[in-house]
Amino acid sequence: MMRKTYTVDGMTCPNCAMKLEGMEDDIPGVQRVIARYRNGRVEIEFDEHQVDETVILQAITRLGYQVVEQ
């Protein structure tokens, strides 16, 4: 299991955080997502044998946010 924290640009409210936390249900292999809109950080715990990190980064982008730091 891997745990990564990303700085995400564009996350400005609780609804944004909830949108990102929905990845937990949408992407197989993602075990836990904690999004904190106040500091613009998303912590994601995932099984690197089930899902590649690039899939997660692409999902964040598709949701309308930009990863500015990994």
What is the tens place of the pLDDT at every residue in 15-42?
A: 999 999 999 999 999 999 999 999 999 9
pLDDT of residue 26: 93
Cβ-contact 2, 39 below 8 angstroms: no
DSSP string, 1-62: -EEEEEEEET--SHHHHHHHHTHHHHSTTEEEEEEETTTTEEEEEE-TTTS-HHHHHHHHHH
Average pLDDT, the chain: 95
pTM summary value: 0.90
Among residues 62, 5, 65, the alpha carbon closest in space to that of 33 is found at 5
Q: Which CATH code of 3.30.460.80, 3.40.50.300, 3.40.50.360, 3.30.70.100 fits the domain covering 2-69? A: 3.30.70.100
Write down the pLDDT at residue 69.
75
